[in-house]
Structure 1
Amino acid sequence: MCGRFSRDIPWSTLHDALNIIRPAPQNLEPAPDIRPTTQQWVARREGEGFALDQMRWGLVPFWHGGKPLKNSGPGAKDGFNLTTFNARAEEAAKKPVFRGAFARRRCLVPASGWYEWTGDKGAKTKWHFGRIDGQFLMFAGIWDECTTSDAGVVTSFTLLTHDSTGHLTTYHDRAPIVLEPGEWSTWLDPEADPMGLLAPGRAERFEVRQAA
């Protein structure tokens, strides 16, 4: 599971890694505590490079089009009420809410790390997970788009997760999938079989520190 993550990456770093062709260079404000339903930067293949777009974290599938994003009133259940900020990699290709996006609309989500909590309610400890080599992370994501009756066009994404391994199992049984640079193109290619990229493992890439 990944319900919070952080991003503190200079634009120049992302540009060098991705060859960003859209939008124009700008300052990316540090985002130390990113939460579901907020708008976040997501990378997609465009031409010979990548485009960065703002998307809602929490995937709303295309087939929700014409309905409201939020419930229309007290007691109403006509909004999109599923929890979709994470998608299990082993289920995403089959679940109706994710399978179209998994097949055709894959994306990359840049981050500095993610958070988990341990301990009893009221006395939990917050932990931050980042790369040992100090490089930024690129989460495997999928995206979708629909036109809602109250919020208009909603472009949204979710993060794929797999079973935790190694020292990560101490903190949670699931972890977001972090792709290496050599894997980005395969993940974004709708004709490629991505399943080999999603297998659990490689926990040794990550360090854990207590967060404030």
Structure 2
Amino acid sequence: MLGCPFSIRTGPNMCVNYHTPTREQFGTLGAFSELPADWRWPDEVWKDYPAPIVRAGRDGGMDVCLASYGMVPRRHIPPGVKVFDTMNARAESIGERRSFAPAWRRLQLCAVPMTWFYEPCYESGRAVRHAIGMMDDRPFFVAGLWREWTEADGAIQTAFTQITINADTHPLMRRMHKPDDEKRSLVILPHEEVADWVACRDMDVARSFLRHYPAERMKAWAAPQTVAKKQEPSPNLSLF
């Protein structure tokens, strides 16, 4: 079972939980209204949960893929190795960390659609779960990486991570997390840059996308919630 109380999920590793677009909202993000009828994903995504991502297609366009949240799914951590999290990749070390470097060197870039993500804010003196989204309430994309895994039955499944940057100077994101923690932010991609990001084939150019989104186009609001325990997803990415 995945026991996921918010108080356990917070910390310097940044965003580990976010809210996904509905199938209808997906149609507002581009040419993705025709999704496979059997695709399902939860409203809120946690580690190892299935969620849609967008990546470069073989025809030069963009394809949607249903993938597992976390670059190294828990089921692929070898026995005897302490469980570790790979939901977020730090931009500063993305080319060095063993979990992320191979995908970064191959520029296996993806964009993660969401309507908002969650962070703890301590301005009241205690952790208050906050949702962070766009001022106009539109869904948006976060920069990420993807890789493939071979499952025990021989099936090929996809996993992904989100990319974060330092947010010590960002007017909104520096309000999140404990006062003494390093401030981090997801890399939010402007809509007009999503296609260029996923198609990028130059590492230096890819790094130029890893910058802050304007705070005046974002908003945050208190969203306290007790997250109930949920059944751990199976390797076929289905929760239903």
TM-score, with structure 1 as normaliser? 0.79
How far residue 170 of structure 1 moved from its aligned partner, in angstroms, is 1.1
Q: Secondary structure at the match of 1:184?
A: helix
Determine whether 1:185 maps to 2:198. no
Q: What is the identity percentage for the equivalent residue pairs of Structure 1 and Structure 2?
A: 22
Which residue of 148, 159, 164 corresponds with 2:162? Answer: 159
Determine whether 1:56 maps to 2:61. no
2:19 matched to which residue of 1? 6
Q: Do 1:59 and 1:84's aligned partners in 2 also have CA atoms closer than 8 Å?
A: yes
Q: Do 1:110 and 1:137's aligned partners in 2 also have CA atoms closer than 8 Å?
A: yes
2:130 matched to which residue of 1? 127
Which residue of 137, 140, 143 corresponds with 1:140? Answer: 143
Alignment of 1:1-150 (within 5 A): 1-11=14-24, 13-20=25-32, 23-24=35-36, 31=43, 33-46=44-57, 47=59, 49-60=61-72, 69-72=76-79, 76-77=80-81, 81-103=83-105, 104-119=107-122, 124-149=127-152
Q: In 2, Cα distance between the equivalents of 1:97 and 1:29?
A: 24
TM-score, with structure 2 as normaliser? 0.71
> Which runs of 5 or more residues in structure 2 are unaligned?
1-13, 178-182, 225-240
Of 17-26 and 158-167, deviating more is: 17-26
> Which runs of 5 or more residues in structure 1 are unaligned?
62-67
Identify the structure with bigger relative contact order (alpha carbons < 8 Å, sequence gap 6+).
2
RMSD: 2.9
Aligned residue pairs, count:
197
